[in-house]
Amino acid sequence: MRLLIIGNGITGVTAALTVRRLQPDAQITLVSEESAHHYSRTALMYVYLGHMRYQDIKPYEDWFWAENRLELVEATATRLDTTSQLVTLSNGQQLGYDKLLLATGSVSRLADWPGQNLAGVQGLYGLPDLARMERDTHGIRQAVVVGGGLIGVELAEMLHSRGIEATVLVRDSHYWGSVLPAAEARLVDQQFEEHHVAVRYRTELAEILSDDQGRVRAVRTTAGEELPCQWLGLATGVTPNLTLVQGTAVETDRGILVDEHLQTSVPHVYAAGDCAQHRQPGQGEVPIEQLWYTGRMQGETVAHTICGKPTAYRRGIWFNSAKFFALEYQTYGRVPAQPEAGIDSFYWEHPGGRLALRINFSSMPGFAVTGFNALGLRLRHEICAQWIGTQTPIREVMAQLGAANFDPEFYRQYEPEMIRQFNQQFPQHAAVLQRRKGLFSRL
Ligand SMILES: Cc1cc2nc3c(=O)[nH]c(=O)nc-3n(C[C@H](O)[C@H](O)[C@H](O)COP(=O)(O)OP(=O)(O)OC[C@H]3O[C@@H](n4cnc5c(N)ncnc54)[C@H](O)[C@@H]3O)c2cc1C
């Protein structure tokens, strides 16, 4: 079998490695325009921060690919002919395939702001962006970042590390308003303050102003404020990269449409990772998943189908993690930004503002836990997923909280206080919890 994979990100590479394992004699070619070798996109910021070098964020040595008979081609796939099963590359080469995997990832999503093509204005998605940022932020004093999401806070931290005064524009009334409840967002806000990053909430970008050399010199916000800046980071999300499939028989919507086997509308053509849109996502799942671990899961799943073992993609319990400056964040299951009907929410926060735990659970008899948010503490993935998956009642979860934490000391120190607050917030569950009093007295 000749397998051609477009994209050497986590999705394409996981699929390649899985196919190599399942079908040792497959001929596998990976095409990528961005880099000769696979690297961890999630670690891009650490290169700018100076914590790692580019070679440190490559999970495999350069010899690994030849050793595993994975052919790498550094070029752009410019044309796809699904009838003759041929892909044309920017270097003029044509590659035939028996099976084709589209793992083309995302591109930064930009609105149509006046001035967005000025020098010093950019998003952060890949290595070329990192190189531009390195060059264009050198020696500058002020920068603006648009976007109150994960990449927005990463850009702010990167700028802060170089002593550049950063202002972040956030459309919502609090940080990551579409995802984080206000209480958790307040802790992130505290991180911005401690790192001297200014934030303008309920504020959007209106116009980007140029100097006489075509470089950004300031932005005007929707609040009418003019903020001087020599660099502007646009972190307003990403959208599936559809360039190669445009004008082909491969059906698209916002992403490349795939069924549960990650098969596109065209035989022998598959799509997975950031670029794919599930026609029928599972219950509680979203059609487009733009995460590292879901790319890896989809890459592994599609490899089985490609090798003749049709396997349906099921993500399982939602999980995500991030870091807001010094504050670690993990989420499991469903924890929406706004309170939900039929769901109760227990929230504990340490007075120091660096630790918080939220546990959502059904307010209906059974009182099954539905989601966790953790800030400043690390929960065990498998335990949280199991509790949510088996609809464990909140009182059992509270009684065993320590099992979910990596650091038993942490729970010895804070669990009694969490239980006290839980009992205060939810006295109807308190009787069960009080039975554990004897256990705490031993701590
Ligand atoms: C700065 C940053 C930080 C992130 N941090 C996190 C995080 O902490 N946690 C998390 O879960 N997720 C994070 N993400 C998201 C995560 O990195 C992506 O979900 C994941 O990398 C997607 O993997 P992928 O293989 O589907 O696509 P990609 O990694 O985008 O790989 C696709 C590759 O295909 C190439 N390509 C596209 N079209 C062509 C073509 N026509 N010809 C040749 N090559 C082509 C692209 O250049 C790219 O190299 C982050 C993303 C960014 C940008």
For 341-390, what is each residue's pLDDT tens digit? 999 999 999 988 899 999 999 999 999 999 999 999 889 999 999 999 99
CA distance 353 to 21: 47
pLDDT of residue 154: 97
Any atom of ligand 1 within 6 Å of the Cβ of 255: no
Q: Which of 93, 97, 104, 241 to mutate to test the pocket of ligand 1 (most atoms within 8 A of CB)?
A: 104
**Measured from the CA of 34, which atom of ligand 1 is nearest?**
47
Q: Is 295 in the pocket of ligand 1 (CB under 6 A)?
A: yes
Tell me the pLDDT band of 412, cut-offs 50, 70 and 90.
Answer: confident
Residue 443, pLDDT above cutoff 70: no
- Strand 70-74 and strand 198-200: the pairing is unpaired
Residue 442 alpha carbon to ligand 1 centre in Å: 49
Judged on CB neighbours under 10 Å (0-12, 13-18, 19+), 425 is middle
Closest atom of ligand 1 to CA, residue 11 = 25
Ligand 1: nearest atom to the Cα of 275: 26
Architecture of domain 319-441: 2-Layer Sandwich (3.30)
Q: Best substitution site from 176, 292, 332 to test ligand 1's pocket, by max atoms within 8 Å of Cβ?
A: 292
Report the candidate in 337, 332, 389, 377 with the shortest Cα–Cα distance to residue 359.
332
Q: How far apart are CA 21 and CA 376, in angstroms?
A: 38
Residue with the bigger pLDDT between 207 and 412: it is 207
**Does the C-beta of 136 come closer than 6 Å to ligand 1?**
no
Ligand 1 closest atom vs CA 298: 26
**Is the pLDDT confidence value at 438 over 80?**
no
CB neighbours of 267 closer than 8 A, spacing ≥ 6?
none
Range 160-180 average pLDDT: 96
Does the CB atom of residue 322 touch ligand 1 within 6 A? yes
Positions of CATH 3.50.50.60 in the chain: 2-107+239-306, 121-236
**Assigned CATH topology for domain 2-107+239-306:** FAD/NAD(P)-binding domain (3.50.50)
Q: Using CA atoms, how far apart are residues 406 and 412, in angstroms rounded to an integer?
A: 12
Q: Is 125 in the pocket of ligand 1 (CB under 6 A)?
A: yes
User: Shortest CA distance to 14 belongs to which of 60, 49, 51, 48?
Assistant: 60
Residue 240 CA, ligand 1 centroid: distance in Å: 10
Whether 10 lines ligand 1, by a CB cut-off of 6 Å, is yes
Q: 366 CA to middle of ligand 1, Å?
A: 40
Residue 6, ligand 1, Cβ within 6 A: yes
pLDDT at 405: 80
CA 112–ligand 1 middle distance (angstroms): 23
Is any ligand 1 atom within 6 A of the Cβ of residue 12?
A: yes
- Ligand 1 site-directed mutation target among 42, 242, 329, most atoms within 8 Å of CB: 42
* Mean per-residue pLDDT, 5-11: 98
Return the CA Rg of the chain: 24
Confidence label for 174 from pLDDT (cuts 50, 70 and 90): very high
Ligand 1 near 7 CB (within 6 A): yes
Q: What is the CATH number of domain 121-236?
A: 3.50.50.60
- If you take atom 4 of ligand 1, which residue's CA is the nearest one? 42
pLDDT per residue over 257-278, tens digit each? 999 999 999 999 999 999 999 9
Backbone phi, then psi, for 399, in 5-degree steps?
Answer: -70, -20
Q: What mean pLDDT is predicted for residues 217-244?
A: 97
Predicted local distance difference test score (pLDDT) of residue 364:
95
Q: What is the pLDDT of residue 251?
A: 98
| pLDDT at residue 442 greater than cutoff 90 | no
Specify the pLDDT at position 227: 98
Measured from the Cβ of residue 199, the count of other Cβ atoms closer than 10 Å reads 21
| Calpha distance 345→180 (Å, rounded) | 13
Residue 241 CA, ligand 1 centroid: distance in Å: 10
Give the mean pLDDT of the chain: 93
Tens of pLDDT along 286-339?
A: 999 999 999 999 999 999 999 999 999 998 899 999 999 999 999 999 999 999
Q: How far is the CA of 228 from the centre of ligand 1 (A)?
A: 31
Does ligand 1 lie within 6 Å of residue 374's CB atom? Answer: no
**Position 439 pLDDT exceeds 60:** no
- Output the residue whose Cα is nearest ligand 1's atom 41: 77
